[in-house]
Structure 1
Amino acid sequence: MAKWGEGDPRWIVEERPDATNVNNWHWVEKNATGWSQERLKELLTGLTVEDDECFCELKEVTKVEGEASANNRKAKLIFFYEFVIKGEWSGKLKSGTKKHKGKFEIPNLSEENDPDEIDFSVTVDKENDESYKVKEVLRKKGTQLVQEKMAQYIRELKEEYGKGVILPTKTDVKSVPNTESQVNKAKEEMNKLVINTGSKSSNVGVKIPTKKFTGTEKFKCRAEDIYRVLTTKEMVQAFTGAPAEMEVEKGGKFSLLHGNITGEFVELVPEKKIVQRWRVKGWPEAHYSQVTFEFDEKDDSTVLTMTQSGVPDNEVERTKEGWKINYWNRIKQIFGFEARIF
């Protein structure tokens, strides 16, 4: 235990921009079971095996039992996965017309086995000389193909669920907006959203037609996490890849993406609600929309409902696309809050 006044690096909040899991000391786990079950079915269903005499196909994956997760402990990334996979196959001799059917099983897909150690067993419903021959072709030639598919699953699991488990430190986040490629990318994306309106004063005082829209996003995190992402300067800079200025208080101003997005905070209810006056640089001068974020925390995720009113009616689709490109996709990518949209 650290002595009073000496401090303990595990509890130095400023070393983490979001003040969560300081120095990646604590155990963080992301459940990958649902994604794994679906991905394994996709990889195996329809897989074909053939030689000069036989043709076989894995027709259906009937059961995927087990679990998978990605974990961070003391800044070490650890993956656990263990599955038993069962399914059905069919095949025939190329010179014949009779189809043979049976079942297959992969009993030992786990982190304890290398892909080339994964077993692939095959049985046939009605065994005779012809069906045995077809079954053996599937077993012998199919084993390597199945092992290759399992190796692909393992790679994709680590790529998909390795993001955001080891969280960035203060130094890591500060380096993000200084990366030239990310800044340039942000500028390019903003070109899709910003309009060239000519004289800035041409539309001042002119009433313009506007529209309102509502969108829903689902994030694999707690409400406090996504609230913090939207209200912490360093985290906003991380997902936008550009400098940000923010006064996070009622009436406080903000400027994002090199000044292309500006506004002020109207209401802040931690973990529940954020209301902003919000505009794009190219909109008619002094025209603001109102953006409302509402957070609903579920057992395994948080649903964010965003309502934006006062959007110039010819800019609604462009604005929706801007949120998707510059906010939701980037937040999920940078912080690992990936989840399917409702």
Structure 2
Amino acid sequence: MAKWGEGDPRWIVEERPDATNVNNWHWTEKNASPWSQDRIKELFKDVPVKTDAANLKIDEVEKIEGEASANNRKGKLIFFYEWDLVLKWNGNVKGSDKKYGGTIKIPNLSEENDVSELDIQVSLETDDGDGSKLKEIMMKEGKELVRTQLGKYISGLKEEFSKGMILPKKGEVKPDSVKILTSGFNKKINMDPVGNNENKQLGLKIDTCTIKQTQKFQCTAQEFYDALTRSELVTAFTRGDVILEPTEGGKFSLFGGNISGKFEELAPAKKIVKQWRYKQWPEGHYSTVTIDIKQKDDHTEVTLEQVGVPKQEMDVTKDNWQRYYWDAMKQTFGFGVFFT
């Protein structure tokens, strides 16, 4: 196996004019927030709602809060977006000059939720006979219009920010081979239940054991460290909501709260030490996880030592490290791709 930068085609840069991110090997990121804000405002500017019973339209975006980004890792595009939107609408029942208005709230537009599953809330400023009719129309036709426009935003985001993110290999242009992912894959992962409910009272003696694992990853030590300490990257491979405070003493919560704890030591590209527990472990019981990261010539070697694992949970814990951490990271970021 070639050493990094010595003969490996991923690192041959002499014929690339920019000589950056050859063959899309590193994680690159583009800020898509400004473009997203402009596009969403454009999509909801004076948009008519089709109905025979009234003259209705969505006026404008009253509030837009959140962020969006596009990321590339080894030919895979991962899009992150999370928006809290408030739209203004107005209209009148045909045959009447009285105008009504209200708002449409979309509090959870993100890659975790399909457009068809969005929570869309319609409100009315003046609730009387005609106003109620208009609100009823907005609850049906108006919501469908909102979903259609947001679908245009999402497809536009992926089209616009795919440009230039995936660079062709030397002598090769294969735009159709690009694989586009979202961090959530529209699917939540639930950790397997662990153990039973016996001996969960704080203070009881727990028989524990130590788990040791060694893994090889095709990435730099810094890339591996970042994948466990940057919220957007942890979100990508865990495919769910993440709480992460990557500072010594900072807390974390993953997999719907099934895994939680706090960081004790953070040495970039070298070591991570944390207090770590399953939700269903005996109350107040934590294990100590030490992850040593060593940069090798052609890969990064990672050694995990977990002290204080309840004995009856040893096999499940080992399997879940493999499935939900190591395999998930390799699949999401391409860390498992080795070339001989």
Q: TM-score, normalised by structure 1?
A: 0.49
Q: TM-score, normalised by structure 2?
A: 0.49
